[in-house]
Amino acid sequence: MVARRIKIYFDGGCRPNPGKMETAVVTGGAATVVRDAGIGSSMDAEWLALIAALRLAQQLGLTNFVLLGDAAAVVEQANGAVRARGEGAHHLANFRALVGEGAMPAVRYIKRTQNLAGIALARG
């Protein structure tokens, strides 16, 4: 029997941009929303949400999971398809440090309408 891959949704945003950031991570029907994640850009907020999703997977001891987000640029940078520059390079370094020596986790793009974390942020 093959273990089911756990889906972890992530999303971040800010108002105005740049401005006050917020993040959300959703898995197993439970949402973790941070309404005051500091000041930064929407890209910073997306990275912080991705990093929070990875931390949650690690805290739960998950080994078979996929991180799902609607920020195409962050997903591409995390997967090495596009070079991260500026602050994105700093966030990518933090992400990779959190991964450590293990295999890079699966990070996939999904449509905004499919992102449960984005829905959780919008409800706030």
pLDDT in tens, 26-85: 999 999 999 999 999 999 999 999 999 999 999 999 999 999 999 999 999 999 999 999
Considering the entire predicted model, what is its pTM? 0.96
Q: Residue 2 gets which letter from DSSP?
A: P
Domain extents for the chain? 6-123
Average pLDDT over residues 4-29: 96
Average pLDDT over residues 8-14: 97
Cis check: omega of the bond before 105, within 30 degrees of 0:
no
38 within 8 A of 19, measured Cβ to Cβ: no
Q: What is the pLDDT of residue 1?
A: 65
**Class (C level, CATH) for 6-123:** alpha beta
Q: How far is CA 84 from CA 31, 61, 93, 99, in A?
A: 28, 28, 10, 17
Query: Residues 78-111: pLDDT tens digits?
Result: 999 999 999 999 999 999 999 999 889 999 999 9
What's the distance, CA 36 to chain centroid?
A: 16
Q: Which of 7, 37, 46, 1 is nearest to 19 (CA)?
A: 37
